[in-house]
Structure 1
Amino acid sequence: MIPFHVVGLDISLTSTGMATGLGWCEKTGRDGITKLPLQSKYRALNRLASDIIVLTNAEKAHLVLVEKLVFNRQDGGRGGAGERSYLYYRTMGIIADAGVPIVEVPQATLKTYALGKGSGEKNEIVDSVARRLPMFHTGGKHDMADAAVLAALGADYLGHPLADMPKAHRAAIDKLTWPEVAK
């Protein structure tokens, strides 16, 4: 579809959404990581980071877009915030060390590209991907839909849009700080 290898990632312990500009999307994750003993947890998180990179070939990408890590202020650190943070930075660190440019995309910007506005429900993004980016088969999974939107946003920035997106949606491109990437 496009002459560039663009990867979109929505990092999660149990269901990381992954997509490429070729229309591929999948998810990976593991239940129960937060309940493992420390050494087992460390190994499981490193394996999951490795799986994400291998499945997407992210170390050889021209550009990676990742949904920016945010925390729920109300959970007070419960719910795997530390583990999710480690997975996020471990994965991004490996990709960055490979020299791949990375763009962190806030949720509102992802929603702008998907919906034409900076707010909306997860099911609205899934529906938008099904209509505007039908090459991505998300099976109704919001994590895969988010990753698909990120991959499409990156492809659009590189001058190879995967779909004819309306102006209000494409406004997301100007909201981001982009690294130097040969177009």
Structure 2
Amino acid sequence: MTGFRVLGLDLSMTASGICLPDGTTKTIKTRQADGDRRLQHIVDEVGLALGDKADGTGDACDLVVMEEAPPGLKGPAIKAIHMVHGAVRLRLLDFDTPYAVINPTVLKAYATGSTSADKTAMAMAAYKRTGREFADDNQCDAWWLRAAGLDWLGRPEFSLPAAQRDRLTRATWPVPKGNQP
């Protein structure tokens, strides 16, 4: 196998960022008026991103990398993010898709070298490394999550200082099906 198929997911009930295995990014937007049906919409879009077909088959990803809920989130927002994570994780488990979950501070330190980086710093780091720009911060985070997964699997798409790359050891990583990192 020459490359790994890694999907990055920055999950949210209102606007989830996705970075596809080819590096393309998009945002899944939902409407509050749709209530819990938003969960189904998000899960369906993740399935499409994974290459699922109507018969339950598809070009499965080797790894999905998701961002944990931000620390300090409370009330309805934390409940909503946990619902989205639960629904997507069940989808990944149903199709035996390995996934990793990265703490937001670990992702920030990987991308920028600082655990307290803001959304602008994340976007600037992507631009400086690769010239990439994004429609929103959800896509940017998803792109960094995909980059982290590829880096962890030994297939980085660009160079980062060792101290930043070492931050990835703070996440729990599965061994992709049929592959060794």
Cα-to-partner distance string for 1:119-159 (whole Å, 9 max, x where unaligned):
2111100111112133x4413x1111111111001001111
**Counterpart amino acid of 2:15?**
S
Runs of 4+, deviation exceeding 6 Å: none
Aligned-residue identity in percent: 23
RMSD (Å), alpha carbons:
2.0
Cα-to-partner distance string for 1:74-124 (whole Å, 9 max, x where unaligned):
x4x23x433332122101210122111111100111001110122211110
- Counterpart CA distance in 1 for 2:46 and 2:133 is 18
- Counterpart CA distance in 2 for 1:55 and 1:23 is 11
Q: Following superposition of structure 1 onto structure 2, how do residues 58-97 of structure 1 map, counting pairs within 5 Å?
A: 60-70=60-70, 72-73=72-73, 75=74, 77-78=75-76, 80-97=77-94
State the match for 2:109 in structure 1: 112
- Counterpart CA distance in 1 for 2:41 and 2:21 is 24
- Counterpart CA distance in 1 for 2:21 and 2:168 is 16
**Counterpart amino acid of 2:41?**
R
TM-score (norm. length: structure 1): 0.83
State the match for 2:47 in structure 1: 53
Contact map agreement 1:21 1:162 (CA 8 A) in 2: no
- Counterpart CA distance in 1 for 2:168 and 2:98 is 16
- Counterpart CA distance in 1 for 2:138 and 2:12 is 8
Structure 1: segments with no counterpart, 5+ residues: none
TM-score (norm. length: structure 2): 0.84
CA 1:108–1:51 in structure 2 vs 1: closer, same or farther (change >3 Å)?
A: same
- Counterpart CA distance in 2 for 1:71 and 1:113 is 17
1:147 to 142, 148, 155: 142
